[in-house]
Amino acid sequence: MTVPTLAKHTGSGEPDLATSDGTTRVDERVRLRRLGPGDGIPGGILLGPALLLAFWAIGSATGFIDERTLSAPWTVVETARDLWADGRLQDGLVTSATRVALGLGLGIAVGLVLALVAGLSRTGEAVIDGPVQVKRSIPSLALIPLLILWFGIGEEMKVYTIALGVLVPIYIHTHNGLRTIDSRYAELAETIGVGRVAFVRQVVIPGAMPGFLLGLRFAVTSALLALVVVEQINATSGIGYMITLASSYGQTDVIIVGLVVYAILGLVADGVVRLIGRKVLTWRRTLES
């Protein structure tokens, strides 16, 4: 079979591929599709959400979706504008974001310190690793009743609950990253006379960084999960409070606005982690490409 010439052959050889009418016979083997799923569709990731949005809009307009079950998209947009105008949305967002940030910060700091101590000394590992593994088997959310008894129902309890959920993935993945650093690098550092501080800075920390960043992505997810839960018990502020309140009044539009804000929080947090990863793991990116 013949197809129009797509690219000229660079060499003058292989005359059998060129036919008299100036077209090129393409080797059948080249035309065989690879076994993979093929090339990506530009902007393909938006296709699914767009279809879903269209279904929602058309369903609401035609009355197929009852207003009491799910408000129309334009009602949600209007509600969001109203909530923004009277400041309730910003207040809730700031409160919720502060809780996540504090919980994440505390959990990351504690998890990192524990991982470094356990990773750099056998004694540290013996003391720390056991308790953290025990903690791992207890979901952080199961500790809420105890945390309420200890810290009350205020902000403290909320931040500690989030921090407890964050600590575990940070510790597990950073510790694993530390332990899987090739021991040959330690040997090398010894033979060329690298000191302890330089060893930790040049070998240990960058070597454990991929593990830490993986842990961070899990940590962000569990922080948001914990946020949603703690905001629905005894909260008087925050996005979760706004949602709970709307639920008792049957305001699906407000609930949707709250969910969108949660989604944005999650996306932003994940984006930040990815960005950090890209900056820090340049060497890995070049390895993958």
Partner 1 sequence: MATHAGELTQEAVRVEGLHRSFNKTGGVLNGLDLEIAPGEFVALIGRSGSGKSTLLRALAGLDRGVDGWGRISVPDKVSMVFQDSRLLPWRRVLDNVVLGLGGRDAKDRGRKALAEVGLAGRERAWAHQLSGGEAQRAALARSLVRDPQLLLADEPFGALDALTRLNMHTLLRELCERHRPSVLLVTHDVDEAIVLADRVIVLDGGVIQSDVRIDLGSRRDPADPRFAALRRQLLNALGVDLDADGLVRDPDPDDLASDRPDRSRGVDRKAAS
Q: Contact positions toward partner 1, by CB under 8 A?
A: 184-185, 187-195, 198-199, 202-203, 206-207, 209, 281, 283-284, 286-287
* Shortest distance, position 281 Cβ to partner 1, whole Å: 8
Looking at residue 72, its amino acid is A
96, 161, 184, 199, 218 from 232: Cα distances, Å = 12, 13, 50, 46, 22
Q: Which is nearer to partner 1, 135 or 284 (CB)?
A: 284
The closest of 124, 205, 200, 106 to 160, measured between CA atoms, is 106
Longest dimension (CA), the chain: 88
For residues 226 and 165, what is the distance between their CA atoms, to the nearest angstrom?
A: 7
Which residue blocks in the chain are alpha helix, DSSP H? 28-31, 47-62, 73-85, 88-120, 122-137, 144-151, 155-179, 183-191, 196-199, 205-232, 239-249, 252-280, 282-288
* Shortest distance, position 280 Cβ to partner 1, whole Å: 9
* Shortest distance, position 176 Cβ to partner 1, whole Å: 17
The closest of 113, 97, 124, 101 to 212, measured between CA atoms, is 113
Q: Which is nearer to partner 1, 245 or 280 (CB)?
A: 280
Q: Which is nearer to partner 1, 8 or 279 (CB)?
A: 279
Q: Tokens in use for 26?
A: 């393409």
* Shortest distance, position 213 Cβ to partner 1, whole Å: 12
Q: Which is nearer to partner 1, 30 or 287 (CB)?
A: 287
Q: Which is nearer to partner 1, 46 or 198 (CB)?
A: 198
DSSP label at residue 204: I
Q: Tokens in use for 163?
A: 């921090």
For residues 175 and 116, what is the distance between their CA atoms, to the nearest angstrom?
A: 7
* Shortest distance, position 194 Cβ to partner 1, whole Å: 3
* Shortest distance, position 287 Cβ to partner 1, whole Å: 6
* Shortest distance, position 129 Cβ to partner 1, whole Å: 23
Q: Which is nearer to partner 1, 2 or 202 (CB)?
A: 202
Q: Which is nearer to partner 1, 149 or 287 (CB)?
A: 287
CB 136 within 8 A of CB 195: no
